[in-house]
Structure 1
């Protein structure tokens, strides 16, 4: 968690410095187009500040009021960032539209382009770093902040190109028109972050996580694990929660059942992601025999005749595999 705080702090300090540079470029050029980037940089600073607090909150241990921990605050952090980006985009569009009817004189566009270009390079480099770190830690907040900075880099590239176009064509109206286009792009980026955060807050299924869990269980399948079904997986911050039903031979005693369930827990937690499992043990039925791998089973009703592949579609259903045939 200290690494997450350090990364967000770097992003926050960098954002403040770049924000000042962009506003300096705006005051030099008096360009609405430059103001679009400066306004978004304010969002970067505010979002990074909230992200720093959310990571601190997500690191707090579970308590009676938060039995699943505080990791969901990261989704709220992403929502705030997306909302701020959307507000910035809408504000940029409104001001640029006003500028079409009430144009203002712009100047020193080359100096502004140099400043914006430099900030774009820094944001792009930092954004790639945050995305890589966000995926490896993992942290949705840091990853979202990285995507935001990449959006800022793309915006800066468009700004530099647009400023040069205005400089060489001397068409002042382009300043407002290009600002509207960039504002629309920023607004769409904010919508995507909001959509992702709402999905997390509503416990929307993360099929990539589920698919990885199913593949891991399938690759490490033991003979006693007759089938796995009703599997659900959800991420809260850097923690993963898995619920599933595991069908075991009905003649296993409680100690043996506990041993198999604990083995699943240990195997999944052998990787870097902290995982909490709730595994319900189901007894096998005679109809399971035709796909059961247990050797020398003392109660087998019929020989094994088929292999049933553990796929995501099959494993997430709340039915034993023979009931799905």
Structure 2
């Protein structure tokens, strides 16, 4: 089984597990709400509804993003994962608004609570289960490079934090007997949900706009610098963008003008192999440029029989250098 198909199977199974747990959690929480009449528990149940819809979207995007590139999508279908993350964030915000509205109404009109101890048991169990599920989804998403699973995992963790907040509210109600604490905690939980929804939408927009991920840029530049050869005279215009679990990297590399086409491809294969140690699904494209006389003073390649002057100037290859232009523009 290829790495791509293996990752697809892992991602799909994780999403199915998330969906199944979401359905069980919703059934448990809505039952607890019917029994107790708690606004806080209702807020937790509403979050589970979003979990179900969001995980369904995540499963769909994982299946679609696995489709190979075709005539209408030369770079594959991976960007659907950004849409999925954005929709999840939008649904989370809707849930938060509903929770705040219902809780504010209960706070003004009052609320009748009963059998809160039963609600406490259900919410505590739900919080623990969702905490474990969220950590599992995030870990799996990072392992396979799936932004959808990571987004779903963060959403599930939010559900877990919601349950913890609701649990604290129920405990305070049981201890003090002050029923207005219940809707207050529901509003507090909903505010946290709003923040999470905003972050997911922000991540989605950043991905669709090909926003530069500085952590990925650092990993790429660190790897290139660690494998640099003396016949790589200059590297510039480094660019990259991600689509699902794939990353597309391209840059210009100046090598000795007398290198054959095979030697150039050997260099490209070497760099691609090294980059895939950090990015399993890296797609690399290198534009090879040939050297000219003005670059001799920057060239560290010792086995050159065409050198016009000695190596005398060192250029620091750092992140800013690699993403910038040629050190010495060629005069045509």
Greater alpha carbon shift after TM alignment, 268-277 vs 179-188 = 268-277
Tell me which residue corresponds to 2:3: none
Change (3 A) 1:178 1:26: same
Aligned to 1:7: 14
Query: Alpha-carbon deviation of 1:256?
Result: 2.7
Could you give the per-residue CA deviations for residues 270-315 of structure 1, whole angstroms, max 9, x where no partner exists? Answer: 5561111121111223332233121132232332234433221111
Q: Which runs of 5+ in 2 are unaligned?
A: 1-7
Aligned residues: 322
Instruction: Please show how residues 95-114 of structure 1 align to structure 2 within 5 Å.
Output: 95-114=102-121
Q: Which runs of 4 or more aligned residues in structure 1 lie more than 3 Å from their structure 2 counterparts after TM superposition?
A: 269-272
1:99 CA displacement:
1.5
1:297 paired residue number:
304
Which residues of 2 match residues 77-92 of structure 1 at below 5 A?
Answer: 77-92=84-99
Alignment of 1:92-171 (within 5 A): 92-171=99-178
Deviation at 1:159, TM superposition (A): 0.9
Q: Does 1:321 align with 2:327?
A: yes
State which of 11, 19, 27 in structure 2 corresponds to 1:20: 27
Report how far residue 89 of structure 1 moved: 0.6
Moved more, 20-29 or 269-278: 269-278
| Matched residue SS, 2:71 | coil
Partner of 1:321: helix, strand, or coil? coil
**Aligned match for 2:272, one of 265, 268, 271:** 265
Q: Is the 1:206–1:233 contact (alpha carbons within 8 Å) kept by the matching residues of 2?
A: no
Task: Give, in whole Å, the separation in 1 of the partners of 2:99 and 2:180.
Answer: 15
Within the candidate set 63, 68, 72, 1:65 is matched to 72
TM-score, normalization: structure 1? 0.95
- RMSD between aligned alpha carbons? 1.5
Say which SS state the counterpart of residue 240 (structure 2) adopts: strand
Q: Which residue of 2 aligns with 1:280?
A: 287
**Shift in Å, 1:172:** 1.6
State the shift of 1:126 in Å. 0.9
Stretches of structure 1 lacking an aligned partner (at least 5 in a row):
none
Alignment match, 1:247: 254
Indicate the residue corresponding to 1:188 in structure 2: 195
